[in-house]
Structure 1
Amino acid sequence: MFPEKALEVLKHPGVVAIATQGEDGPHLVNTWNSYLQFSEEGWMLIPAGYMHETETNISKDNRILLTIGSHEVQGKLGAGTGFLIKGTAEFLYAGASFEQVKARYPWARAALAVKVTSVTQTL
């Protein structure tokens, strides 16, 4: 499901933008490329330290959009590429996926688990 080039992006420094839908419109938060990992079941896992508004939004509408990118990975037209990731999400507070995140990021209060439905290269 995850293209090799997108996995390559995650190996480089970069920002991940996470968009959810709130009552007042879209809500964005950021995290780092290096924080993303995958569960054995194929879920994308993101440590959540705060993300309280994101958590509230996901509880009402679990659709999520993320963007990742790196100027160090060859894109469609030159140096740099990015991807739009669509999926559904939930916050995990226990279980194997949560423990996987907590082992690497002890500060995480939860794991944002994303079931990816599409990955589209945008750059």
Structure 2
Amino acid sequence: MIPEKLLEILKQDGVVAIATLGQDGPHMVNTWNSYIRISADGRLLIPAGYMHKTEKNIAYNPEVLITLGSSKVQGLHGPGAGFLIKGKAAFITSGPDFDLLKSKFDWLRATLAVTPDSVTQTW
């Protein structure tokens, strides 16, 4: 389940970091909070324009770590809230999840779909 606080963060400007681990070691890529959509079943749908190394890593190891936050959302100890999301990811190039994001981001080549195993507020 996606917490309300996380949904609030996704409406704000902010950077998202996505970490993967491939045969060549760890890799990170960024996107924007406001680009992420939540599916009806609670997956994070992230538009991928490039992310070729991320796709290669996920084919090798589907586990991802994602961090995101916003200084504009009240956190645990004052202004600013952030989350760590651990989950499994897959790249989707057709179907409803792809079509949803393609209608919003014409530059999209794939949808990065992340099924969270845990969603933890960190600050």
CA offset digits 1:42-84 (Å, max 9, x no partner): 2210000000000000001000110110000111111101000
Inter-partner Cα distance in structure 2 for 1:84 and 1:41 = 19
**2:23–2:60: 8 Å Cα contact kept in structure 1?**
no
TM-score by length of 1: 0.97
**2:13–2:33: 8 Å Cα contact kept in structure 1?**
yes
Greater alpha carbon shift after TM alignment, 37-46 vs 23-32:
37-46
Q: Give ranges in structure 2 of 5+ residues lacking alignment.
A: none
> Which residue in 2 is equivalent to 1:119?
119
Amino acid in structure 1 at the alignment position of 2:9: V
**Aligned-pair identity (%):** 59
CA offset digits 1:81-111 (Å, max 9, x no partner): 1000011000000001000010010100000
Amino acid in structure 1 at the alignment position of 2:108: A
> Which residue in 1 is equivalent to 2:65?
65
**2:70–2:81: 8 Å Cα contact kept in structure 1?**
yes
**Superposed, which structure 2 residues align to 1:35-114 within 5 Å?**
35-114=35-114
Deviation at 1:25, TM superposition (A): 1.9
Runs of 4+ in 1 over 3 A off after TM superposition: none
TM-score by length of 2: 0.97
Amino acid in structure 1 at the alignment position of 2:30: N
Deviation at 1:24, TM superposition (A): 2.7
Aligned length: 123
Q: SS where residue 103 of structure 2 aligns?
A: helix
What RMSD over aligned residues (CA atoms) do the two structures have, in Å? 0.8
Inter-partner Cα distance in structure 2 for 1:110 and 1:24 = 23
Inter-partner Cα distance in structure 1 for 2:37 and 2:12 = 13
CA offset digits 1:12-49 (Å, max 9, x no partner): 10000000002232110000000000223322100000
